[in-house]
Each structure stands twice: as structure tokens, then as C-alpha cells.
Amino acid sequence: MRKKIVAGNWKMNTTVPQGVELAKEVVALSKDVKDCLLVVAPPFTHLAPVAEALKGSKVALAAQNCADHTSGAYTGEVAVDMIDSIGCTYCILGHSERRQYYGETDEKLVVKVKLALEKNIKPILCVGENLEEREAGKHFDVVTSQIKNVLYTLTAEEMKNIVVAYEPVWAIGTGKTATAEQAQEIHAAIRKCLADKFGAQVAEDTTILYGGSCKPSNAKELFAQKDIDGGLIGGAALKAADFIAIAQSY
């Protein structure tokens, strides 16, 4: 059985005290969540105090990115060793905002994914098409080539530690959610793409999250889809009650 996950990507929001408060609220409410792993991904500055706030809880910690080098003269970057040493077990990689604004390419992502895996950090690899690509009917091609470019470089063994997040760019922060059918058909295509390379079992065991304006009011329908195994939540993850309500949508 693949793992169900609801992960909160806080992006560049909250001060450190606000983030610690939010983490504490998530921990307090997490006791009501069954059969679903909760993950929070605060900004780098928050990781140490949030790790402290999560201690003793079942909420896992993720970074929102990591460097494509192990250490050295890379001013402003944060290495995977560093996030590992602070207690992160997941790392979001390839978010569309990083692809769009910070020149994150599939080639760089191959390096980052491998560095994370070497440290037993599980990458949450984001894929997704933009509006233009969706309107041109290229969404399946865009998403499957992102998957192939990055994940086809891995072994089946390494794939066991990968989480995929499908986030259509046009649905992120726009209030426009993909319909459950639109999301399901892409999730199924991702799973098929993984099965083609790694076999049916690996594909069946891979957790594939949906992200993009997911909130308590639409999570139930999305999570009811066969190939949707949870969510990567942006805006709604900044309110503990909403984040937990999403996780309770199973």
C-alpha cells in the first residue's frame, strides 16, 4: 500500500515566530489525523526551531529546495547535508516557482534528487504544465517528459524513496483547481510512465500528490481519485485548521 501524504509548502511566508506557532498548531491538531503522513516545509530559516516544535510528533519536516553541490563556495545556497543535520526527511524539488523564477532545469534536478537520495532525504519532485501548454493540449507530453528527464535516471530501488507532486501551474495560487478528472488522468499517466520504466509494482507503490488551490472544500473529491495519494498544499497550509481539515478528507 502506498503512503498517503499531505504536505504543506509554506513558500516564503511567515516570520520565524509565526512559523513556530503554526508548527505547534499543526502538531496539536495532528492527533486527529489517521492514516496520512503530515509533512511541513517551512523556509530554511525556520527549519531548526520548527524541528524542535515537531519533536515527539508524527509530523515530518521538509525543506523547500536544496543546492546542487555538496558544500563549498556557493554563497546563499543550502546543502542537503545541512537540511539532513537539522532533521529534514523530505525535500521539495523542482517546484514550478523555482523552475520559472530561478532557472531550475531538469538537468539540475537530476543532481539534486541524487544528492538528496544519498542522504536518505526523500525528494518530493514537482511536475506540471503551464496554462499555455494545457491550452495547446500538451499537458501529458510536458508532464511525462519532466518525469522521464529526472526520474528515468534512477534505479527502481531509488524510486522507492521518491514522491511525485503534480502541480498544474495554472492552478497554483489562482483559486482554479484542476477538476478531479483532470488531475486523475494526469496522475494515471504519471503512474503509467513510471510503470513503463520501473515495472508495475514500483509505479503502484509511488505516492503521487496533487497541488494547486487544494483546500478543505475540494480535497475530498480530489483524494477520492484512484491515483491521487494526497496533496501538496500552499495557501491553505498556512492555517493549521485548514491544513488538518484537508488531511482529514480521506
Binding footprint of ligand 13P on the chain (CB under 6 A)? 9, 95, 167, 172-173, 211-214, 232-236
Question: Taking the complex as a whole, how short is the minimal distance between the CB of residue 30 and ligand 13P, in angstroms?
Answer: 19
Between 59 and 202, CB nearer to ligand 13P: 59
Q: Which is nearer to ligand 13P, 36 or 214 (CB)?
A: 214
Annotated active-site residue 139? The verdict is: no
Of the candidates 239, 242, 118, 99, the residue with the CA atom closest to the CA atom of residue 165: 99
Residue 95 is a catalytic residue: yes
| Smallest gap from residue 212 Cβ to ligand 13P (A) | 5
**Considering 95, 133, 139, 187, which one is annotated as catalytic?**
95
Q: Minimum distance from CB of 236 to ligand 13P (Å)?
A: 6
Give the type of residue at 71: S
Quick one: residue 137, left, alpha or beta (phi over 0 = left, psi -120 to 50 = alpha)?
left
| Residue matched to cell numbers 477520492 | 224
Cα 59 to Cα 166: distance, rounded to the nearest angstrom? 22
The DSSP bridge partners found for residue 62 are 90
Round to whole Å and give the CA distance between 138 and 130.
10
Closer CB to ligand 13P, 212 or 230, in the complex? 212
In terms of CB distance, is 80 or 124 closer to ligand 13P?
124
Q: Give the separation between CA 94 and CA 250, rounded to whole angstroms.
A: 27
In the numeric block, which cell numbers belong to residue 132? 499555455
CB of 33 to ligand 13P, least distance (A): 18
Which residues are part of the catalytic machinery? 95, 167
